[in-house]
Amino acid sequence: MDRKLATIMVGDYVGSTSAMERNEESALSQVLSGLDLVTRCVSKHHGRVFNTAGDALLAEFESPVNGLKAAIEARSELATAPGLTPQSMRFGLHLADVVRVGEDLRGDGVNIAARLQQLAEPGEIDVSEALFDHVRRVSPCAFEDRGEHRLKGLDEAMRIMRVGASSDRHVFQLAPTVEAPKSAIKPNSIAVLPFLTRTGADEDQDFLAEGLTEELIHDLSLIRSLFVSSRTASVALQTDDPKLIGDTLGVRYVLAGKVRKMGSRVSLSVTLTRTSDGGLVWSDRIQRPFDEVIDAMEEIVARVAATVSGRIDHEAISAVRMKRPENMTAYEYYLRGLEQHRMGTVADSFYREAREWFRKSQEADPNFARPIAMDVCSWSGMADFDLASAEEKLNRAMQLDSSDPELHRILGTLQIKLNNDYDASRRHHERAMQLAPNDAYILGRCAAFYTFDGQPERALELLEHAATLDPFLPVWIVEEQVAALYALGRFTESNEEARSLNFQTRRSRLYRAASRVARGDVERAREIVTEALADDPTLSLEYVKSQELLRDTEKLNALFNNLRKAGLPDHPIASANS
């Protein structure tokens, strides 16, 4: 038998039988219209409809994320299709090994996707735990855990996850708007590839490898004489070909490595390669006790810097490093928390787990500032977040380590939300950029401040530089260009920039709508808001007021009024689970 691993999506038109009893021709026309709309979304996201069954269709995707995006987009577009609503369809998705029979696919995997669709309520998208596990790190949306259910034909209960609103700020959601261009090679430039672990390594080794990769990128980024490509750029390329990496990212060197933890010892194998010809510059193998790994990382940074720039000594590197925890237990807890934090917008449980790991890190080393800052960052995504208490935590962290750029960035944003103090916010954001001048993430987040502060031109400059460092910036950083262009009154460009994103967030949709109103196209603006509400029925101006912190009250009120004209309610009109 010809078998393959595939993402199966089953979409079903709701209530067609009773509708046809009332008016067969009208109902049939609506069913066909709904299925055609879904088919277009399937094709757009590189899927294929392989079968139909009356008022349902079955589609396959090579990518689970593409399958998810197709279902989400179809639900939104149903909101503005004549005679249809988001509740007209329901979807089930599953990832499984299936059997190919001609152009058809069969097997338990297809049956499970159909069962998931049958359990879903009108307008909902339910997915299996198997699919969720594959997409959660790059998920375009939040999820609600629906618990375990017994599906017909299965002996064991299956956990079902329900798709929620689109995620605005998921750090793993990489979505370049264009293919990465071939870049000119920059002097003193390097890309750090994700450290590898041996095949079959446990989760502990995976998160250690990821954490050490980020440490190297961060520490190298602090050295002003180096151009360091960002972590997301290196990950997104999914290649270890030095020449391809050099051509795409515009770097002269590639640093690659392998990590292996054996009991209390860690083995690091590191190579530095030229991208011009793939030639090996140097390689090293380091074995250290686990609690001495940070020292080993300093040696690697010093050697890379000395090779790449030729004028960095060990003392200079040590001077720009953030303070380290006094023991590796605290650092290990921090890395675990960071992993969970990055998936916080996927489900609240990740934020809760992240905060627990950060708490353990603080207990293990009360002088380690970074977990305090990241604890606040995770907390800010939860319903019980308190700005005043957060400020106390961040001020305590600042007393421990005033050289942490991320701490300054977070505290800068809080100064606006809590104290409406844009001057203090500017000082923190400028300090963050001084401490990490080559960190694309920091630059992108700081760009948002300059838009809020009435300097959108400066925001666009920072975003351009961030894109140079990282051609694979997450959507929620790229979309800062949308806000900056809108603030400049360049409404056509703002709308086009938002439309060019290959993943629409709530924020990008709302700026598209506001731009349309500003240009006099209220009808299209209302359609965009209707689609956004189909994705998140709780969306309202309350959300916009919490996100858009423009200092200029006249421009801020104009934004609110444009969104009201587009049909966005002042307050939520539905619960998240209604």
Q: What is the pLDDT of residues 168-223, one digit of tens each?
A: 665 444 444 334 445 678 878 888 998 888 776 677 788 788 888 888 888 788 77
Residue 523 is predicted with a pLDDT of 96
pLDDT at 51 over 50: yes
HEC letters along 174-190 = ECCCCCCCCCCCCCCEE
Distance CA(479)–CA(448), nearest Å, equals 10
Amino acid, res. 278:
G
- The DSSP secondary-structure symbol of 292 reads G
Residue 327 is predicted with a pLDDT of 57
- pLDDT class for 529, splitting at 50, 70, 90? very high
pLDDT per position as a tens digit, 408-426? 999 999 999 999 999 999 9
Question: Mean pLDDT, to the nearest integer, of 314-326?
Answer: 49
Check residues 92 and 340 and name the one with the higher pLDDT. Answer: 92
- pLDDT class for 384, splitting at 50, 70, 90? very high
Residue pair 140/93 in contact (Cβ under 8 Å)? The answer is: no
pLDDT per position as a tens digit, 295-308? 777 777 767 766 66
Distance CA(281)–CA(148), nearest Å, equals 53
Residue 577 is predicted with a pLDDT of 43
Highest mean pLDDT among 203-217, 235-249, 442-456, 469-483: 442-456
Question: What's the half-sphere exposure (Cβ side, CA atoms, 13 Å) at 186?
Answer: 19
Mean of per-residue pLDDT scores for the chain: 86
Residue 174 is predicted with a pLDDT of 46
β-partners of residue 95 are 7
- pLDDT class for 315, splitting at 50, 70, 90? very low
Closest CA to 309 of 444, 207, 188: 188
Q: How far is CA 460 from CA 93, 308, 457, in A?
A: 39, 30, 5
pLDDT at 493 over 50: yes
pLDDT at 569 over 90: yes
Distance CA(428)–CA(415), nearest Å, equals 9
Residue 558's SS3 state is helix
Distance CA(129)–CA(490), nearest Å, equals 44
pLDDT per position as a tens digit, 94-112? 999 999 999 999 998 999 9
- The DSSP secondary-structure symbol of 195 reads P
Residue 441 is predicted with a pLDDT of 83
Burial of 331 per CB tally in 10 Å (0-12, 13-18, 19+): buried
What is the dihedral angle through the alpha carbons of 453, 457, 460, 461, rounded to the nearest 10 degrees? -110
pLDDT at 490 over 90: yes
Domains of the chain: 2-166 (3.30.70.1230), 189-321 (3.40.50.10070), 479-578 (1.25.40)
